[in-house]
Amino acid sequence: MSSQIGIDLVDLGRFESSLNRTSGLAKRLFTDREIQQGSSKNIALHLAGRFAAKEALAKALGVPPGLSWQEVEVLRLESGRPSFEFSGGVLALVADKTVKVSISHDGGFVIAMVMIESSK
């Protein structure tokens, strides 16, 4: 069995400034479902967690060329736990693997960790 790990840390203030400064950035990085699941009270915090998870996934995959953020969705399960849904080329990369994600935030920072396990 082999495992790959990726981790990413996001400065919430800097991320929120980027969202406010760059028109359409949220639509380029996130799917409609990801945006809709966000809390209207603090959408930047919600999206920062999703961004950190996508970055951590990219690192765990070795940053494959052509990786599309629209082919990776970070959604909240009924339990509140985050989970990935994949499509397109990313789905092909992880089809035979187990992908786990954890997201946490505190003190103006958001962190995500991704572990990819395969039986090979």
Read off the pTM: 0.93
Rounded to 5°, angle at Cα 58 from 52 and 63: 145
Domains of the chain with bracketed CATH:
2-118 (3.90.470.20)
Asked whether 47 and 30 are in contact (CB, 8 A), the reply is yes
pLDDT tens digits for 91-107? 999 999 999 999 999 99
Q: Residue 95 has what pLDDT?
A: 92
CA of residue 32 relative to chain centroid, distance: 14
Q: Residue 38 has what pLDDT?
A: 81
For residues 120 and 107, which has the higher predicted lDDT (pLDDT)?
107
Q: Output the six-digit token pair for 13.
A: 């203030």
Residues 69-78 have a mean pLDDT of 94
